[in-house]
Amino acid sequence: MTRPVWWESVVADVDSAARAGVLHTPSGDVETPAFMPVGTQATVKGLVPDLVAATGAKMLLANTYHLALRPGEDVIAELGGLHAVMSWNGPILTDSGGFQVVSLADRVKIDDRAAVFRSHLDGSLLELTPERAMSIQRKLDSDIAMCLDHCPMLPATDSEIARAVDRTIAWAKRCREAGGSDFQGVFGISQGGSNPELRKRCAEELTALDFEGYAVGGVSVGEDRDEVRTAVRLGAASLPADKVRYLMGVGRPEDLIDSVAQGIDIFDCVLPTRNGRNAHCLTSRGVVKLRNACYKVDRGPIEEGCPCLACVRFSRGAIRHFFLAGEMLGPILASLHNLTYIQRLLREMRDAILTGRFARFQAETLEALRPRRLD
């Protein structure tokens, strides 16, 4: 049987590690570099699927831990799987719950056998072994399932990161043995922080397991931007060149550009929608903070030339009013704009790679995003 998920290279940039390709999945193809909006609980907050698709998104992410707690993977299966629940016909990737080891650190106990969570909903226990993580994702019926990994909170000592790497490798072997469904690809997740030896060892062990794709994990969990860039560079360079490379949980425009230059193919992050819900709008010249008084009677769009509904139909002043009045439309429109901006940025990077001008694009775009006072 052919692999359910595979990636093919189209063009490699001559001046960097950037590359353009196509990720093939049972639910359709995704041109890379690509960004996945996050639908933690089977929904991208505030946006119906048609609006999400209108931003240019082709693939979504959902959260294994949260969906196992509510409504439960059996309920999702009874409802027809994640595609039916999310009303999304394109590819869906489910994470494994490994990041919750960091984000819910005060509610989890972890050892070599499992991560045991105290539910943030009702205090009940959820035991997440590698085998259980894969079983949940099979029932969710996503296109891509992620291995359970141990993501350490940074800063951490080398010995702490080494223990996380050892556990991640051991759990990846158990996930590989448990397997996904016949129509589900499985991705391994590399750890190692910004330690070259640990990143290399983790990648080598995971590569030997021959996953359909690989993720760079343990990034943007407490380190500064330089450390993020180092971890991404080491992580990407140590992973197979013929498999898709996924950087988990990174969404700042500057970091996306830097990471594509290092050979990353796909991304996910809550930043576009979370920032949108807080009236922070992403533009090609930096962040527009719509709550600021200077936008009270501003009749212009969030960003001139943006094709999203928020920019075509509404003014900055109007959307600011929706936020101040506590109307749901404000966060919806700002989230829609932010996702549209991110998808446009990824398409522009792909076009720049295909036309041999990525280095120039990177320099010009980062200069335009350089912090400056807009308001």
Greater pLDDT, 195 or 371 = 195
Least confident stretch, 152-156, 270-274, 341-345: 152-156
Residue 153 has pLDDT above 90, yes or no: no
pLDDT at residue 371 tops 90? no
SS3 at position 93: strand
Q: Mean pLDDT across the stretch 123-148?
A: 96
Q: Quickly state the pLDDT bin for 1 (edges 50, 70, 90).
A: low
Calculate the alpha carbon distances from 95 to 17, 20, 170, 325 in Å: 26, 24, 18, 36
Mean pLDDT, to the nearest integer, of 363-371? 95
CA dihedral over 330, 334, 335, 340, signed as positive or negative: positive
Q: Does 355 have pLDDT greater than 80?
A: yes
Rounded average pLDDT over 220-234: 85
Catalytic annotation on 182?
no
What is the widest separation between alpha-carbon atoms in the chain? 61
pLDDT digits (tens, 9 = 90+) for 22-60: 999 999 999 999 999 999 999 999 999 999 999 999 999
From the candidates 13, 95, 255, 258, which is the catalytic residue?
Answer: 95
For residues 250 and 256, the answer to whether their CB atoms sit within 8 Å is yes
Point out the catalytic residue in the list 143, 255, 265, 268: 268
Active site annotation includes 226: no
On the question of pLDDT at 375 being above 60, the answer is no
The string of pLDDT tens digits covering residues 27-36 is 999 999 999 9
Which residues make up the CATH 3.20.20.105 domain(s) of the chain? 7-269
Percent of the chain with pLDDT over 70: 99
* Confidence band of 152 (pLDDT split at 50, 70, 90): confident
pLDDT confidence of residue 225: 79
Write phi, then psi, for 155 (nearest 5 degrees): -70, 150
Confidence of residue 374 (pLDDT cuts 50, 70, 90): very low
3-class DSSP string for 18-85: CEEEEEEECCEEEEECEEEEECCCCCCCCCCHHHHHHCCCCCEEECHHHHHHCCCHHHHHHCCCHHHH
Round to whole Å and give the CA distance between 185 and 203.
18
pLDDT digits (tens, 9 = 90+) for 311-325: 999 999 999 999 999
Give tens-digit pLDDT for 167-181.
999 999 999 999 888
Q: What is the pLDDT of residue 373?
A: 57
pTM of the model: 0.96
Work out the mean pLDDT of the chain and round it to a whole number: 95
Greater confidence (236 vs 155) lies with: 236
Topology at the third CATH level for domain 7-269: TIM Barrel (3.20.20)
pLDDT value of residue 322 = 98
pLDDT of residue 102: 79
Is 90 exceeded by the pLDDT of residue 104? no
Determine the straight-line distance between the first and last CA of the chain, rounded to whole angstroms: 57
Rounded percentage of the chain residues whose pLDDT exceeds 90: 89
d(CA 36, CA 193): 23
Better pLDDT: 152 or 309: 309
Per-residue pLDDT at 11:
97
Between 36-40, 82-86, 103-107, 319-323, the lowest mean confidence (pLDDT) is in 103-107
